[in-house]
């Protein structure tokens, strides 16, 4: 078989499977950037691992990867090495001992990673689906908005947690994200996570306002995954490049994440 035929066969096989989602792959998404996806993914992984679940975080913010930076790690390999053919997908996964979970890091500042072709993205998706069989949960820390990687990984996922705070830009962009995602993947469950809430009532009000608009205009009311309070310990943990669960094990935000685990990760 020549190369052209092989590539065509691979793409055809990928296309055949592309609509098969894997229940334990969870997208951590937002419309607007900087709303808390990365620290939440890390803290969620930690909370699940504490319950003896086997967890992998995949850094899906290709080209602007942050997981290893927030944890102060210098992994031997990352997704860039996989793309360059240096190592296979599984070989690029490293174990984060303190958190008892695995990480497949991205590579910050890699133009090549941020600009992967649809075929390459589809191959990454299929590798991830295959690796997901070895885990209880695979968490994908996405970049903001709806880029190629988000479009490519969405069909593989069992659920999307959409993070929103009470700023109008965050709400508007989250609505746009949900609208476009519902259009392309009407069966993907989306749950809303209200972050940086001043208090519980304010968090619930933000959710109700958002859910009302979604129900009215999209005919879909996303469930509430939970409310996370504004907590200065998060910034402190990120600045010190240590997971919140380790640096501030008694923090309010960690308790909030544990509640989300109980509700949404049964």
Ligand X SMILES: Nc1ncnc2c1ncn2[C@@H]1O[C@H](COP(=O)(O)OP(=O)(O)OP(=O)(O)O)[C@@H](O)[C@H]1O
Enumerate binding residues for Mg ion (CB under 5 A).
37-38, 66
For residue 172, CA distances in Å to 141, 180, 260 come to 21, 13, 24
- Using the contact rule CB under 6 A, the part of the chain among 6-14, 174-182, 200-208, 234-242 near ligand X is 234-242
Nearest distance from C-beta of residue 265 to ligand X, angstroms: 19
Per CB under 6 A, does 37 bind ligand X? yes
Q: Enter the tokens of residue 63.
A: 């080209």
Q: How far is the CB of 23 from Mg ion (least distance, A)?
A: 24
* DSSP secondary structure letters along 150-191: HHHHGGGEEEEEEEE-SSHHHHHHHHHHHHHHHHH-TTS-EE
Measured between alpha carbons, how far apart are the two ends of the chain, in Å? 46
* Per-residue mark of binding to ligand X, 167-196 (x: CB under 6 A): ----------------------------xx
Q: What is the C-alpha separation between 40 and 68, in angstroms, rounded?
A: 14
Site string for ligand X, 90-109 (x = CB under 6 A): --------------------
Nearer to Mg ion, 30 or 206 (CB): 30
Check binding of 228 to ligand X (CB under 6 A): yes
Q: Is 156 in the site for ligand X (CB under 6 A)?
A: no
Shortest-Cβ-distance residue relative to Mg ion:
38
Long-range contacts from 235-243, C-beta under 8 angstroms, 24+ separation: 237/39, 238/39, 238/70, 240/72, 241/69, 241/70, 241/71, 241/72, 242/71, 242/72, 243/42, 243/43, 243/46, 243/70, 243/71, 243/98, 243/99
CA dist 129 and 152 (Å) reads 12
Q: Work out what residue 33 binds among Mg ion, ligand X, none; the CB cut-off runs from 5 to 8 Å by kind.
A: ligand X
Computed from CA positions of residues 31, 54, 260, 103, in that sequence, does the dihedral angle turn out positive or negative? negative
Question: Which tokens belong to 246?
Answer: 């380790």
Considering the rule CB under 6 A, would residue 43 count as an interface residue with ligand X? Answer: no
170 binds, among ligand X, Mg ion, none (CB under 5 to 8 A by kind): none
Q: Which does 30 bind (CB under 5 to 8 A by kind): Mg ion, ligand X, none?
A: ligand X
The CB-of-227 to ligand X minimum distance in angstroms stands at 10
Minimum separation from the CB atom of position 61 to Mg ion (A): 5
Contact set with ligand X (CB under 6 A): 30, 33-39, 61, 66, 143-144, 195-196, 228, 230-231, 234-235, 238, 253
């Amino acid at each position: 078989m020549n190369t052209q035929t092989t590539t065509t066969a691979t793409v055809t096989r990928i296309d055949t499977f592309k609509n098969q989602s894997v229940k334990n792959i969870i997208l951590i998404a937002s419309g607007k950037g900087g709303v808390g996806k990365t620290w939440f993914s890390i803290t969620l992984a930690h909370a699940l691992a504490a319950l003896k679940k086997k967890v992998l975080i995949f850094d899906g913010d290709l080209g602007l990867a942050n997981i290893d930076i927030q944890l102060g790690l210098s992994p031997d390999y990352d997704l860039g090495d996989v793309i360059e053919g240096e190592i296979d997908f599984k070989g690029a996964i490293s174990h984060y001992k303190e958190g008892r979970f695995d990480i497949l890091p991205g590579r910050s500042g890699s133009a090549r990673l941020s600009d992967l072709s649809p075929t390459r993205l589809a191959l990454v998706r299929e590798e991830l689906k295959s690796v997901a069989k070895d885990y209880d949960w695979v968490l994908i820390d996405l970049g903001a908005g709806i880029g190629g990687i988000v479009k490519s990984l969405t069909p593989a996922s069992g659920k999307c947690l959409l993070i929103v705070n009470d700023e109008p830009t965050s709400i508007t962009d989250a609505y746009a994200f949900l609208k476009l995602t519902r259009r392309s993947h009407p069966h993907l469950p989306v749950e809303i996570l209200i972050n940086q809430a001043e208090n519980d009532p304010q968090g619930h009000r933000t959710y109700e306002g958002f859910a009302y608009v979604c129900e009215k205009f999209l005919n879909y009311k996303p469930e509430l995954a939970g409310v996370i309070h504004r907590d200065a310990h998060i910034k402190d943990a990120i600045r010190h490049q240590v997971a919140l669960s380790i640096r501030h094990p008694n923090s309010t935000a960690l308790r909030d994440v544990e509640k989300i685990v109980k509700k949404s990760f049964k």
